[in-house]
């Protein structure tokens, strides 16, 4: 209505286009999202990106512009996606990002062209002249050219090769951007053509053809359920396992969101929201993400790198205006982060039952020690640990962490020890001391992760206390003792267990003595052949059990090994060195 309004609008659009969208890749992201949202039901969209001189062409095969679409890109916060929860955008400012890169942008749709052009000679439609207004207002007049569409004939300013190209590829829509900084844009395009993972969560685009310095063809194959294959050329493929979850939006959250300024109506009025998780796979199955992989997507990647998630996450996050960062103080985002951690554990529980089996445990998330989003993620993580059964038990059932026992020694699988005595030992060490419903879980290679999450653990460090526990002593027989000795000898000789060494075993009470108790090797003697009274229960000393002596008379190798641990014949010299000297304060009097 007034030149003041026009100039103010132009200044606002200038700031919006240049200040918010500092990353030269971001305007291409916006054009790709527009292409992705243009798909007709049941159809996919092809995209072509090509350089003509100093002009960039981004074309696609999606739906042509409607009059409403044209009004949408000529407005601010009046886009066609505001109320459509199936679309990725909602702010109504995404297209304005192209004006941070160009003063002349042309749209092709329906075989016609219109453009936004800073150099167009707009008529002065107000009272007086432009010069008079500028003198009076002490400012330069600028028209908001970024929202004024100019119908354009093909022969006027449109390169003939571009028109021919668009007809050749049968594009329905194209954006032609006269670049102000071609070098910067070429670098951004090269990066985008090489980072195929960024296209993972586009809903409808099936292929992107880059024709810049060299040609590159990217295909997005969604034909297989829960799997997206990104093809870069003929041979290079990247496969991502995916899981899409529909989250019900809690009513209590909706109430809390009424006071939030940034929440769009289409989210505020939604009953559900879609969340997608993606895990990288390779020839050996699931692969952990590298540190430099961006993990937070809002259909295209954000610039958030401080949240170390084990998977890529895509959903309708509330981002800042340029969609690069998340609002950490948003209750919406906080609810999403809490839900994400829970859903990761639920996905693990499903993957464990597939061909990926234990590889699923690579996706167990760590705590996030940063801001409000991390706090909520950690709350969801703890909730999932307590409520989700994701740990495999024999025979192939899943249990919760709190109901699981991980046996790092594998002794529970040995017939001479078994599960019962170990479970009694673990139960006795619990605060209640009562028998629990805990079960032994399979040794998956992720035992330390399970222990850190709260699983009960039986480890070699516990062996000394275990062999002295009632549960073990009451169920251990002399036959089992022979097998236990054989097993510990084997482990000490292969040197595979830190806690099973000759030095450690010397003090471990694991050998039956003649009194029917378990004793340490340095406390036990072999009787000499002329000692007729060694077997007395009242003997001050401990001698090897008769059945063990009978066995060792045939197994001289094990007898020699026990000798290294200190089990030797009782002579005056051995009595002095084994018994008197170590206990001198009890034997030597005034």
Q: Which residue has the tokens 């706090």?
A: 375
The model's pLDDT over 273-294, given as tens digits with 9 standing for 90+, comes to 999 999 999 888 999 888 777 7
pLDDT at 92 over 60: no
List, for residues 385-431, the tens digit of each pLDDT value. Answer: 999 999 998 767 899 999 999 999 999 999 999 999 999 999 988 77
Predicted confidence at residue 269, as pLDDT, reads: 87
Q: Indicate the pTM of the whole model.
A: 0.84
Helix (H) or strand (E) holding 161: helix 160-168
- On whether the CB atoms of residues 443 and 410 are closer than 8 A, the answer is yes
**Tokens encoding 202:** 């586009």
Q: Is the pLDDT of residue 16 over 80?
A: no
- Tell me the pairing of strands 404-407 and 456-458: parallel
pLDDT in tens, 471-523: 999 999 999 999 999 999 999 999 888 889 999 999 999 999 999 999 999 99
% residues pLDDT > 70 (the chain): 94
Gap between the Cα atoms of 253 and 124, Å rounded:
51
pLDDT per position as a tens digit, 211-246: 988 889 999 999 999 999 999 876 678 899 999 999
Please give the span between the terminal C-alpha atoms of the chain, in angstroms, as a whole number: 116
Query: In the 8-state DSSP scheme, what is residue 319?
Result: B
For strands 524-526 and 568-569, give the pairing. parallel
Provide the token pair at 73: 């890109």
**What sign has the CA pseudo-torsion 571, 575, 576, 578?**
positive
Q: Report the pLDDT averaged over residues 327-332.
A: 92
pLDDT surpasses 90 at 366: yes
The proportion of the chain whose per-residue pLDDT surpasses 90, expressed as a percent, equals 62
In 10 A of CB 84, how many CB atoms?
Answer: 13
Rounded Cα distance between 514 and 480, Å, is 16
Nearest to 546 by CA among 472, 469, 482: 482
Dump the DSSP string for 431-474: SS-S----EEB---S-HHHHHHHT-EEE-GGGHHHHTTSHHHHT
Residue 394: CB atoms within 10 Å: 11
Which band of pLDDT confidence, cut at 50, 70 and 90, is reported for residue 531?
Answer: confident
Longest CA pairwise span in the chain (Å): 132
Q: Which residue has the tokens 């004006």?
A: 99
Note whether 524 and 544 are within 8 A (CB). yes
Distance of CA 530 to the CA centre of its chain: 71
Confidence of residue 156 (pLDDT cuts 50, 70, 90): low
């Amino acid at each position: 209505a007034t030149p003041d309004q026009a100039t103010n609008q132009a200044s606002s659009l200038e700031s919006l286009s240049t200040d918010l969208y500092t990353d030269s890749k971001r305007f291409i992201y916006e054009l790709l999202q527009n292409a992705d949202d243009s798909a007709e039901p049941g159809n996919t969209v092809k995209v072509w990106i090509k350089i003509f001189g100093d002009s960039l062409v981004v074309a696609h095969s999606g739906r042509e512009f409607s009059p409403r679409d044209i009004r949408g890109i000529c407005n601010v916060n009046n886009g066609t996606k505001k109320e459509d929860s199936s679309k990725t955008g909602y702010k109504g400012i995404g297209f304005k990002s192209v004006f941070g890169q160009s003063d002349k942008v042309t749209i092709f749709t329906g075989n016609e062209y219109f453009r936004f052009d800073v150099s167009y000679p707009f008529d002065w439609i107000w009272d007086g002249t432009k010069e008079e207004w500028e003198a009076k207002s002490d400012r330069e007049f600028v028209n908001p050219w970024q929202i004024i569409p100019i119908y354009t004939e093909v022969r006027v300013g449109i390169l003939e090769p571009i028109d021919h190209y668009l007809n050749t590829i049968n594009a329905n829509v194209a954006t032609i951007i006269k670049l102000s900084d071609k070098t910067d844009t070429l670098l951004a395009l090269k990066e985008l053509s090489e980072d195929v993972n960024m296209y993972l969560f586009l809903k409808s685009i099936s292929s992107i053809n880059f024709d810049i310095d060299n040609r590159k063809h990217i295909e997005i194959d969604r034909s297989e359920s829960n799997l997206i294959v990104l093809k870069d050329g003929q041979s290079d493929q990247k496969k991502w396992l995916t899981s899409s979850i529909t989250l019900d939006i809690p009513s209590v959250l909706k109430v809390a969101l009424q006071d939030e300024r940034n929440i769009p109506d289409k989210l505020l009025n939604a009953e559900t929201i879609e969340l997608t998780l993606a895990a990288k796979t390779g020839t050996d199955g699931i692969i952990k993400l590298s540190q430099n992989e961006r993990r937070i997507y809002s259909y295209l990647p954000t610039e958030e790198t401080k949240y170390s998630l084990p998977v890529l996450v895509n959903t309708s996050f509330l981002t800042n205006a340029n969609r690069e960062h998340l609002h950490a103080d948003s209750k919406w985002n906080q609810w999403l982060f809490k839900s994400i951690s829970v859903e990761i554990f639920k996905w693990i529980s499903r993957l464990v039952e597939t061909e990926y089996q234990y590889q699923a445990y690579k996706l167990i998330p760590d705590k996030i020690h940063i801001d409000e989003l991390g706090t909520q993620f950690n709350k969801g993580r703890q909730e999932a640990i307590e409520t989700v059964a994701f740990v495999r038990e024999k025979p192939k059932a899943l249990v919760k962490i709190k109901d699981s026992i991980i046996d790092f020694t594998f002794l529970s699988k040995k017939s001479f020890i078994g599960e019962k005595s170990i479970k009694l030992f673990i139960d006795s060490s619990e605060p209640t001391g009562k028998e629990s419903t805990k079960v032994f879980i399979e040794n998956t290679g992720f035992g330390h992760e399970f222990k850190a999450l709260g699983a009960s653990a039986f480890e070699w460090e516990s062996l000394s206390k275990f062999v002295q526990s009632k549960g073990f002593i009451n169920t251990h027989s002399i036959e089992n003792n022979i097998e236990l000795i054989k097993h510990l000898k084997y482990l000490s000789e292969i040197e595979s267990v830190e806690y099973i060494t000759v030095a450690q075993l010397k003090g471990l009470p694991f050998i039956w003595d003649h009194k029917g108790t378990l004793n340490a090797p340095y406390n036990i003697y072999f009787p000499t052949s002329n000692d007729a009274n060694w077997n007395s229960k009242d003997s001050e000393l401990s001698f090897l059990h008769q059945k063990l002596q009978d066995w060792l008379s045939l197994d001289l190798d094990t007898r020699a090994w026990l000798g290294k641990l200190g089990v030797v014949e009782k002579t005056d010299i051995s009595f002095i060195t084994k018994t008197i000297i170590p206990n001198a304060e009890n034997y030597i009097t005034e």
